[in-house]
Amino acid sequence: MNLSATGMAAAVAVGLVTALLAVIRARTAVIGAGTALTGAAAVFAGAAALAGGSFSLVLPGVLPLSGVALTLDPLGGLFVAVTGGVAVATGIYAVSYADTPDLRARGVQVALPVFVVAMVLVPAAANVATLLVCWELMALASLVLVVAEHRRGPQVASAGRWYAVMTHLGFMSVLIGLMVFVAHAPDDSFTALREAGRHLSPAVAGVVFVAALAGFGSKAGIVPLHAWLPRAHPEAPSHVSALMSAAMVNLGVYGLVRVGVDLLGGGAAWWWLLVLALGALSAVYGILQAAMSSDLKRLLGQSTTENMGLVLIGVGAAGLFASFGDHTLAALALTAALLHVVGHAAFKTLLFLAAGSVLHATGSRDLDALGGLRPVMPVTTAAFGLGALAASALPPGTAFVSEWLLLQALIHGLPAGGVTAAIAMPVAVAAVALTAGLAVATFVKAFGVGFLARPRSDAASNAHESPFTMLAGMGVAAVVCVVLALWPAGILPAVQAAAGGVAVSGDVTLRLDQATGALSPLLLTLGLVAAVIVVAGVVRAVVARRVRREARLWDCGGGPMSARMEYTATSFAEPLQRVFDDVVQPELDVDVSHHQESRYLVQAVEYRRKMPDRIERRLYRPVLSVITAWGEAGRVLAPGSVHRYLGYGFYAVCGVLILLAVTR
C-alpha cells in the first residue's frame, strides 16, 4: 500500500468512525475534530497522488454488477487535496460554530463527515457505478446539511427544495450521459470507457458530452443551471456553505474534465466553444448579481457562480486549443483553470467562515444593517479583508496569478484557431476583464459597508469576536491564501501534473514556456509594500512640519453625521445598477406617506429595491407554472373516487384490446 492509498484509507476510516460517533451523540468538538482529521488525511492522499504515488483498488462484492473501483491519478489527487484542505478549516471552525441546538441534531452531525467522505471519494472513483453512488451520497448528505436550520424560517425549506430538485435533475443528466457511454463499452470501468471513447461516432460522443455538461455544470452552479446556488449557500450553516462553495462545486469541474478531456479524448471544437460561452456568461452574470446583493452570504454564493465561470473559460479554452492541435496553450489554459480552482477554494473558505463569524456575532447577514465591526471584531475583519483582496484579482491577491495566466492563454491563443479563435478569444478576454473590475467593486462594497464606518443597527453595535476555534479555522484558510498569493510556484508543479502538461516554469518568477510573459508575485508584492511605505513616510514628513490643530469636519451645516448618512450596500451598488439596468432589470417600489393635515407635507418615504434573477424569471417560472397547472389538472382527474379509478382501468383495458385487434 503506497502513500496515496494509505491517505485515502485513513480519510475514509476516520470519516466513518466520526459518523458512528455522531450516531451515539458525540460532542460537536469530536465531530469537528474528526472532520478536520478526515480532511488532513485527504490532503496527504492527494499530495501523494500528485507526486506520482497513484493507486488502484477493486472491491467486486460491494456493489452489484461492477463492484467498487477506486484509483487516484494526479487529476483526481488535486481535487481530493483541495477538498481535504477545505474540510480541515471547516472542521476546526465547526467545533464552536456547530454547538447550537439545530446543528447538534444527530442527523446533522452524521451528515457532516459523510459529506466530506463522499466528496473525497468522487475524484477517486474508477468506474461509473462508484462515481454515481458517491455522487448521490454527496448530494443527499449535503441536502440534510442545507436544511439543518429549517426552524429558522420557511426560506430554508424553500432552499432545500430547490437544491433537491436541481441536484437530482443534474444527477439524472449525468446518469443518462454515462449510460449512453457505457452502452458502447465492454464495461463501466474508466479504462474501458477511455478506449471506447476513441471509437464513438460524433453524434453519440456529442450526446454524452452535452449530458455530462448539463449534469456536472448544474453542480458547478453555472448559468442557467445556477438557481439553487444563491438559495442554498446563504441558508446552509456557514461551515457547510464553505464546504459546498469551496469544495463541492469543484467536483462539477472535475466531472467535466474527466469525461470531456480524459474519457472522450477531447472531442470537437464546438463542445469547448459551448463551455467557454457558458463560462463567460456565468462569470459576468454571477458577479453582476453579487454586485447588486445586500445579503452577505448570498453575495458570496453568487460570487461562486462567477468564479466557476472563470474556471470554465479556462477549461473551454484548453479544449479548444487542443482541438486546434496547440497542446502547449491547452496546458496553459487548463493550468490556469485548475490553479483558480485551488485559489477559489482557499479564499471562498475564508470568506464564508468570516461571514459565519459575523452571523454568529450579530445574527444578521444584511450588509445594510451592519458596519462598525472593525473595533469589536478585529480578527474577523482582517480575515474578511484578506479574503476580499484574494477574490478581487488585484495584486497581491490569490486570484491574481490564475487570472493573469488565463488572460495570457486567451491572448496568445488568438492566432491559434483562425476565425473561431479570432471571435471567441477577444470575447473571453473582455468577459474576464469585466468580471475582474466588477469583482473589485463588489468586495469593496462588502468590506467597506459591512465592516467599516459606523454601525447601522444595535446588533452591529453589540457584536463580539468569535471563539478561538472559529478564528483558528479562518486562520488556516488565511495562511493558504497568503501562500498562494506570494508563492504560487510552490503548487504549480502539482497543478501542471493534474493538467497533463508543463506550460509555466520558474520559482520566484513565473515564465511562460513557448510564449512571452513573466510575473513575479513576490517581487510585485514587495514593490507595492515598499511604495506604500515610501508614500506614507513622505506624507508623514510633510505633515509633521506643519502645526497640527483639531477642527470640526465640514458637515454642510447639518450637524454631526450619523450612520443614516453613510453609504449602504444598496446605495453603493446603485450606479452599477443604472449601468446594467437592462441586464439585471431591478424591481423598484417607492412609497410616500403624507401628513393627514396636508398632502403637501411628506411624512416618510420608503424605498424598496428587489433584484430578481432575470434568467430564473424567464426560464424557471414558466416551467413551474406548467407543472403547477399539471398538478391542478391531476386533482380533477384523481378526486379520490374508487368508481372513477375502476372506470379508468376499464377504459384503458378496452383501449389496449382495440389497439391489438386493429394492429394484428
> Which residues fall within 8 angstroms of residue 247, CB to CB, at 6 or more apart?
82, 83, 86, 87, 119, 345
pLDDT tens digit sequence for 534-544? 998 888 877 76
Rounded Cα gap, residues 167 and 300, in angstroms: 20
pLDDT tens digit sequence for 262-285? 999 888 889 999 999 999 999 999
pLDDT tens digit sequence for 393-417? 888 888 899 999 999 989 887 776 6
Residue 600 — very low, low, confident or very high, per pLDDT cuts 50/70/90?
Answer: confident
| Among 90, 423, 57, 498, CA closest to 257 | 498
Q: What are phi and psi of 226, to 5 degrees?
A: -100, 0
Q: What are phi and psi of 587, to 5 degrees?
A: -105, 115
Confidence check: pLDDT of 256 > 90? yes
Query: Chain-wide mean pLDDT for the chain?
Result: 88
The pLDDT, as a whole number, for residue 122 is: 95
| Among 386, 543, 410, CA closest to 479 | 386
pLDDT tens digit sequence for 136-160? 999 999 999 999 888 888 888 888 9
The pLDDT, as a whole number, for residue 334 is: 93
Confidence check: pLDDT of 545 > 70? no
Confidence check: pLDDT of 96 > 70? yes
Asked if residue 346 lies in contact with residue 495, where contact means CB atoms within 8 angstroms, the answer is no
Rounded Cα gap, residues 168 and 578, in angstroms: 37
Rounded Cα gap, residues 51 and 197, in angstroms: 28
Radius of gyration of the chain (CA): 27
Asked if residue 538 lies in contact with residue 425, where contact means CB atoms within 8 angstroms, the answer is no
Residue 240 — very low, low, confident or very high, per pLDDT cuts 50/70/90?
Answer: very high
The pLDDT, as a whole number, for residue 77 is: 93
Q: What are phi and psi of 639, to 5 degrees?
A: -80, 0
The pLDDT, as a whole number, for residue 547 is: 67
Rounded Cα gap, residues 418 and 337, in angstroms: 23
> Which residues fall within 8 angstroms of residue 85, CB to CB, at 6 or more apart?
39, 43, 345, 346, 480
Rounded Cα gap, residues 148 and 101, in angstroms: 10
| Among 587, 606, 603, CA closest to 595 | 603
DSSP secondary structure letters along 367-391? GGG----TTT-HHHHHHHHHHHHHH
Greatest distance between any 2 Cα atoms in the chain? 108
Confidence check: pLDDT of 205 > 80? yes
**Lowest mean per-residue pLDDT among 478-487, 524-533, 559-568:** 559-568
The pLDDT, as a whole number, for residue 302 is: 92
Asked if residue 408 lies in contact with residue 475, where contact means CB atoms within 8 angstroms, the answer is no
Asked if residue 299 lies in contact with residue 254, where contact means CB atoms within 8 angstroms, the answer is no
Detail the DSSP E strand segments found in 204-328: none
pLDDT tens digit sequence for 51-82? 888 888 888 877 777 788 899 999 999 999 99
Prior bond of 101 cis (ω within 30°)? no
Prior bond of 224 cis (ω within 30°)? yes
588 pairs with which residues across the strands?
609
pLDDT tens digit sequence for 470-527? 999 999 999 999 999 998 888 998 999 998 888 888 888 888 887 778 888 888 888 8
Rounded average pLDDT over 585-605: 78
Rounded average pLDDT over 220-232: 88
The pLDDT, as a whole number, for residue 567 is: 77
Asked if residue 377 lies in contact with residue 464, where contact means CB atoms within 8 angstroms, the answer is yes
Confidence check: pLDDT of 561 > 80? no
pLDDT tens digit sequence for 447-473? 988 898 888 888 888 888 999 999 999
Asked if residue 347 lies in contact with residue 396, where contact means CB atoms within 8 angstroms, the answer is no
Asked if residue 457 lies in contact with residue 303, where contact means CB atoms within 8 angstroms, the answer is no
Q: Please, where are the H alpha helices in 293-326?
A: 296-324
Residue 343 — very low, low, confident or very high, per pLDDT cuts 50/70/90?
Answer: very high
Q: Which helix (H) or strand (E) holds 584?
A: helix 581-584
**Lowest mean per-residue pLDDT among 19-28, 62-71, 123-132:** 62-71
